Structure 1
Amino acid sequence: MDKKVIVDILNEIGLLLELKGENPFKSRAYYNAARTIEVLDEDIEALVKEDRLKYVKGIGEAINKKISELILTGKLVYYENLKASIPEGLVEMLKVPGLGPKKIKIIYDKLNISTIGELEYACIENRLIELPGFGEKTQKKILEGIQFVKQFRGQHLFVEAYNEAVKLKAYIDNTNFAIRSEIAGSLRRKKEIVKDIDILASSNNSQKLMDLFVSYEGIRDIIAKGDTKASITLKSGINTDLRVVEDEEFPYALHHFTGSKEHNTAMRHRAKQMGIKMNEYGLFFGEEIIKCKSEEEIFNKLGLSYIPPELRENMGEIEAAEKGKLPVLIEERDIKGLFHVHTTYSDGSNTLEEMVEAARKLGYEYIGITDHSKSAFYAGGLKEEDILRQFEEIDALNNKYRDIVTLKGIESDILPDGSLDYEEDIMKKFDFVIASVHSNFRMNKKDMTNRLINALKNKYTKIMGHISGRLLLSRDSYDFDIYEVINAAADYNKIIEINSSPYRLDLDWRYIKYAKEKGIKLAICPDAHNIEGLKDVKYGIGIARKGWLEAKDVINTYNVMDVIKFFR
């Protein structure tokens, strides 16, 4: 067995013991043994087979037996059992610069956080600041360290890739060698998780544009460079492709490289039935190109109304476009107010008045404040006296500002049996209640489904918050029957949230269309914990559009009087 493998295993055992909070002398013994083996001149296998390892200074009897087992059998049962006893995500957290076993143990013990994704979300919600030995600077460093680790993953959140793509597109446009350009691929379709960035440009000097592209200051590596395509890796770790075409080819290429693959296949099949060949270079009737100056003209030539990029997933959009029955998709300007906003009363970074003032400046007519309920003690959940104090402040703000209405809400934890926080005398004082799961994620499917349905039955529940509990690339949805829960929301006339946090984007767009068909209203909510978070609504809009939603399907496109009437 390679000596390095043995050294790595001994060091990992030391780390795992620290994560478990074992006696520090025990961890140190394994670290010391690893260093001893690392500088050992003699062949370690010979030492084991000749039973001489126990005489090497720094190798005690217990560790001697473990190394011998590892070399003679190829595995170590103690090590395997130790690994199995610790959540896998805790070990991954060790990759975060500046985050050692002691801090990880505190995070796990105090907040029950077991993945890097959960840790990132907790940092964003300011949950680490009050932990012993932490603070604002430590939290900021941990968040920076997480971004470093995420550079080397193969998938990326929409928000991370999109922000990079916007900067890169602006750079390409400013070269003066691009006639027009567009972000394509899954980013243009507003997928919540993407593998890479695709940018399409037209140019009369593709070589010069390519040269400037691979000179972009944000590049870490150049993967390939040709006359019409170049591939790079950005410093953020995201792979990016630039394709350059002649300007007359641009509409066809934009449709093709936007995708999805399934949509393109269905479109080519339709074209073939009409005697037309379709590819990234054009529409062809025989050898003659059918000239199109835009994507709209391409769809028109194939007997279809224009299909927005978000819908191009081959999920009925072509059939609807043929019949002229595509929805008029919701736009950001349709949103009149916001729900699901946190303040310093719980785990937000800005005061109540600061959040209201920011919403005013953004042009909203109303804002629904929903700090955490008392069961969310880890997030500063509100006790009854805090609620009454917040109500007084909201009343004062409603008297102060005449151009925005502040609604009294709460994000109430859904307890394991499906009940909500607070007694009825408190619950009836709220304008609305968002009911959300924040704990006990590992319930079986039947119990979790019943838990959510029981919460929907509660007369005070108005909105079901982040229905699946997922954190993108970090935590899977808990196990429940999504269709049963959506059906229950329809039965009890409840609203389902589209949580716009780019770390959640929950309800999943694949189920939104079903919810719409059941007659359910949805609420596109920022789940904002600071002023900047109010703007996250735009990400929820993208997901809503993927789910075929129109303005009429979304409760916060209503004016404030209609919203209040709906809640009653």
Structure 2
Amino acid sequence: MAERAPTNAEIVRALEAVVALMEIRGDEHYRVLAYTRAAESVANHSGSVAALDDPKSLPHVGGTTSQFIADLVEGRMPPVLDELMEEIPRSLVEVTRLPGVGPRTAGRLWKELGVTSVEEVAALDPEEIGKLKGFGKKSAEKIVAAAERYDATERRLLLDDATAIGEALLAFVRSHPSTDRADLAGSLRRGKETIGDLDLVAASTDPAALSDAFAGADFVREVVAHGPSKVSIKVDGPRRSPDDLVDVDLRIVRPEAYGTLLHHFTGSQAHNIVLRERAVKRGINISEYGLASEATGGEPEPVATEEELYERLGLSYIPPELREDAGELRAAENGTLPDLIETGDIRGDLHVHTNYSDGKGTIRSMAEAAIELGYEYLVFCDHSQSLRVANGLSPERLARKLREVREADEEYDEIRLFCGSEVDILKDGSLDYEDALLAELDFVVASVHTSFGVGEKAMTERIRRAMNNEHVRTIAHPTGRVLNRRDPYEVDVQALIAEARATNTALELNAYPDRLDLKAEHARAAVEAGVKLTIDTDAHDESALGFMRFGVAQARRAWVEKGNVINTLPLREFEAYLKAGK
């Protein structure tokens, strides 16, 4: 099997591993900076770095880092990485990913306590860390708690990674001549925030041939089980390292039995249990093989579609995203299931970044990408001045950006361009720009990026104060979580929902796959309280505009309908919404 060229993301991770190991070792700043800048340059490159004739054509990539990239592309271990891993346990890189633990802290845990892995951090008594200079009891407890849950989160795929892998596998299955139907199943089909493993279901006229083809495909790294009706394999995960493999199950049936199999392996388990209980009361037994009753002599009768399955049980069809035993059966029985929002309902994106702050795209390149998606409007919301790490805009730079957005808006007939800002909510709840400047903007998104540890009461009051500003239209990523990396900050979400309703402030459902913030339970509570949502990508480049599908999937899990979301408004109605103010 031919060795595949590394993706940009894999090259970035290797460069970042060198950065982390150098910082642990205490290398000079200029050496660390060279690899840091190279990683940023690779991340910003729109094409395949592996396809470049010379990596030195990238900004900030010199001779040393160029050779490093070339080694990776040609399948060699770069000497500097080999040297660092000889000296420093590679597993310490994982330790640096724990919330509150950077390279220097990881280095101290290694040098002073002999810790070399996340598992060893989890086994520590917090008092051992607390005895080290510069550590307190609370910070030590947080580090150990983060390590304890690391394996359960870090090993789970984010929705975009799971979707990319799953859809590639699905395309292979659907391309086989014997395949009649095939779908993704499991938690990925239900749009869960993170995915543990992948399930596929196929209907085939020649199950054995499809099974053999799947087990023998180039993407297979290990065959765990192989039979005519089920294949279990391991494939590369997003990091494509030996310890980053994803479990995949393919189940194959004849076309006439497809419906119950797809339903069974879509789940959730809780939904399937309550559905089985309902069926038993009707004298029917549900299994993955079909429906059995006295009328069938106790033998499972195949069911070809999920729609037929639900109809036989006296229910409306329940979309996969709702199958969590959260009232969906009652709603299906009563005919009150929501008319769920779809990606095609979205008319614009209200929170995207450009190269004015920490984005990669320009105003015009982002606009043209939005036009390709069929959007009617786009709102540019670069960071405000205090967030220097994200190249936040001074008032003078914001004024220049405002002029450029107005000029670009005149150039495009297909789309309206608006100038906004993602304004930081400062520690005391005030905003990062004066009201007079905010009044000049079309749309203001407010968010928290610093001082996460102020406590629930202070954080709640901080955001509530921002909501009471007449210019703030939505609160971005309201709980601040980063999936697999950072827990939400302490905040009373129910109090935020109440304040959002009182102040006519929307709450954002951030579609970026590592955020998906609000989570589904909070988004559902918000719409039930009458609060409007915005579903925004927080895109920092053109491709990230495509993350909208993940935000919509999260919204569907929250029972959200088109009318609950501001950016489903047609352009003229959206303009009227802006003009009306709060």
Equivalence for 1:330 = 341
1:427 equivalent in structure 2: 438
Partner of residue 184, structure 1: 185
Whole-Å separation in 2 of the counterparts to 1:106 and 1:549: 50
Q: Is the 8 A contact 2:260 2:302 kept in 1?
A: no
Quote the Cα distance in structure 2 between the aligned partners of 1:530 and 1:356: 11
Which range moves more in the overlay, 353-362 or 163-172?
353-362
Q: Which residue of 2 aligns with 1:27?
A: none
**Aligned residue type for 1:525:** D
Shift of 1:508: 0.4
1:121 deviation in Å? 11
Segment drifting more, 238-247 vs 219-228: 219-228
Is this contact kept in 1: 2:255–2:304, CA < 8 A?
no
Deviates more, 1:300-309 or 1:154-163: 154-163
* Cα distance, 1:245–1:560 mapped onto 2, change above 3 Å: same
Say whether the 8 Å CA contact 1:178–1:202 is kept in structure 2.
yes
1:251/1:543 CA distance change after superposition, 3 Å: same
Aligned mate of 1:453, from 452, 464, 468? 464
Correspondences of 1:10-29 after superposition (within 5 Å): none
Corresponding residue number in structure 1 for 2:214:
213
**Which whole-Å deviations, capped at 9, do the CAs of 1:363-407 have from their partners, x for residues lacking one?**
111100000000111111000111111111111112222221111
Aligned to 2:175: 174
1:366 paired with 2:412, answer no
Equivalence for 1:488: 499
Give, as a single letter, the amino acid of the residue that structure 1 aligns with 2:269.
Answer: K
Distance 1:167 1:459 in 2: 47
Name the structure 1 match of 2:304.
293
Distance 2:529 2:166 in 1: 36
- Whole-Å Cα distance in 1 between the matches of residues 469 and 24 of structure 2? 38
In structure 1, which of residues 527, 534, 546 is the aligned counterpart of residue 538 of structure 2? Answer: 527
The corresponding residue for 1:313 is 324
Give the aligned residue type for 2:325.
N
Cα distance, 1:439 vs. partner? 1.0
TM-score (norm 2): 0.74
SS at match of 1:563: helix
Matched position secondary structure for 2:421: strand
Deviations 1:205-238, CA, capped at 9 Å, x for gaps? 3222221111121122112223321211102211
Q: 2:361 aligns with which of 333, 350, 360?
A: 350
| Local SS of the residue matching 2:18 | coil
Q: Indicate whether 1:266 and 2:274 are aligned.
A: yes
Residue 480 of structure 1 aligns to a residue whose secondary structure is coil
Q: Which amino acid aligns with 2:385?
A: K
- What SS does the aligned partner of 2:19 have? coil
Contact 1:94 1:100 in 2 (8 A): no
Distance in 1 (CA, whole Å) between partners of 2:259 and 2:194 is 25
1:545 aligns with 2:556: yes
Counterpart-to-counterpart distance in 2, 1:437 and 1:340: 15
User: 8 Å contact 1:526–1:533 — kept in the other structure?
Assistant: yes
Which amino acid is the alignment partner of residue 283 of structure 1?
L
Where does residue 447 of structure 2 map in the other structure?
436
Corresponding residue for residue 340 of structure 1: 351
1:361 positional shift: 2.4
Shift of 1:98: 2.2
Aligned to 1:515: 526
Seen in structure 2, the aligned counterparts of structure 1 residues 182 and 431 have a Cα distance that, compared at 3 Å, is same
CA contact (8 A) 2:257 2:302 kept: no
Residue matched to 1:240: 248
Q: Which amino acid aligns with 1:376?
A: L
Q: Does 1:376 align with 2:387?
A: yes
Structure 1 residue 488 displacement after superposition: 1.1
What are the superposed Cα offsets for residues 305-331 of structure 1, whole Å, 9 maximum, x if unpaired? 110001000101110000000111111
- What is the CA-CA distance between 1:287 and the residue it aligns to? 5.7
The CA distance in 2 between the partners of 1:559 and 1:216, in whole Å, is 46
Structure with greater Cα Rg: 1
Q: Within 5 Å, which residues of 2 pair with 1:71-110?
A: 97-103=17-23
Kept after mapping to 1: 8 A contact 2:271/2:325:
yes
Extract unaligned runs of 5+ from structure 1: 1-92, 110-119, 127-133
Question: 2-side partners of 1:515 and 1:135: how far apart?
Answer: 45
Over aligned residues, Cα RMSD in angstroms?
3.0
Deviation at 1:135, TM superposition (A): 4.2
Give the aligned residue type for 1:383.
Answer: S
Q: Distance in 2 between matches of 1:386 and 1:454?
A: 26
Separation in 2 of the partners of 1:416 and 1:542?
32
Native 8 Å contact 2:511 2:535 kept in 1: yes
Deviations 1:18-59 (A, max 9, x none): xxxxxxxxxxxxxxxxxxxxxxxxxxxxxxxxxxxxxxxxxx
Give 1:253's match in structure 2, choosing from 247, 261, 266: 261
Q: Secondary structure at the match of 1:505?
A: coil
**Please, which of 392, 403, 427 is the counterpart of residue 416 of structure 1?**
427
Over the matched positions of the two proteins, sequence identity in percent amounts to 38
SS at match of 1:238: strand
Partner of 1:113: none
The alignment's TM-score, normalised by the length of structure 1, stands at 0.75
- 1:565 maps to 576
Q: 1:104 to 1:546 in 2, by over 3 A?
A: farther
Deviation string for 1:212-266 (max 9, x for gaps)?
A: 1111211221122233212111022111011112221110111110000000000
Deviations 1:100-147 (A, max 9, x none): 44447999x9xxxxxxxxxx9999689xxxxxxx94787997x9999x
Q: Could you tell me which amino acid in structure 2 is paired with residue 249 of structure 1?
A: A
Q: For residues 225 and 122 of structure 1, do their structure 2 counterparts lie closer, same or farther at Cα, with a shift above 3 Å needed? A: same
Measured after TM superposition, the shift of residue 343 of structure 1 is 0.6
* Aligned amino acid, residue 435 of structure 1: A
SS of corresponding position for 1:179: strand
SS at match of 2:413: coil
Q: Is the 8 A contact 1:125 1:348 kept in 2?
A: no
Shift of 1:451: 1.3
Summarize the Cα distance change of 1:190–1:125 in structure 2 as closer, same or farther, 3 Å threshold: farther
Alignment partners' CA distance in 1, 2:272 and 2:391: 49
From the superposition, tell whether residues 297 and 164 of structure 1 become closer, same or farther in structure 2 (CA, over 3 Å).
same
Greater displacement, 385-394 / 256-265:
385-394
The change in CA–CA distance for 1:121 and 1:250 in structure 2 (over 3 A counts) is farther
Amino acid at match of 2:171: A
Counterparts in 2 of 1:125 and 1:521: CA distance versus 1, 3 Å: farther
> What is the CA–CA distance in structure 2 between the aligned matches of 1:511 and 1:466, rounded to whole Å?
12
| In structure 1, C-alpha distance between the alignment counterparts of 2:345 and 2:193, rounded to whole Å | 22
- Maintained 8 Å contact 1:338/1:526: yes
Bigger mean CA offset, 297-306 vs 446-455: 446-455
1:491 & 1:122 partners in 2: Cα distance?
45
- Code of the residue aligned with 1:377 in structure 2: it is R
Helix, strand or coil for the counterpart of 1:98?
helix
Deviation at 1:276, TM superposition (A): 1.0
CA distance in 1, matches of 2:569, 2:260: 38
Residue 194 of structure 1 and its aligned partner are, at CA, apart by 0.8
SS in 2 for 1:97: helix
Give the AA of the match of 1:99: V
Q: CA deviation at 1:557?
A: 0.6
CA distance in 1, matches of 2:413, 2:185: 43
Within 2, Cα distance between the matches of 1:246 and 1:429?
Answer: 62
Over 3 Å counting, the alpha-carbon distance change for 1:267 and 1:95 in structure 2 is farther
Per-residue CA deviations over 1:326-357 (Å, capped at 9, x if unaligned) read: 11111111111111111111011111111112
Task: Answer yes or no: is 1:203 the counterpart of 2:217.
Answer: no
The letter of the residue matching 2:257 is E
The 1:229–1:267 alpha-carbon spacing in structure 2 relative to 1, beyond 3 Å, is same
CA–CA distance in structure 2, aligned partners of residues 136 and 483 of structure 1: 48
**Hey, what's the Cα distance between the residues in 2 that align with 1:106 and 1:520?**
50
Aligned residues of 1:445 and 1:479 also touching (Cα < 8 A): yes
In the alignment, is the contact (CA less than 8 A) between 2:363 and 2:408 conserved in 1?
Answer: no
Distance 2:461 2:24 in 1: 34
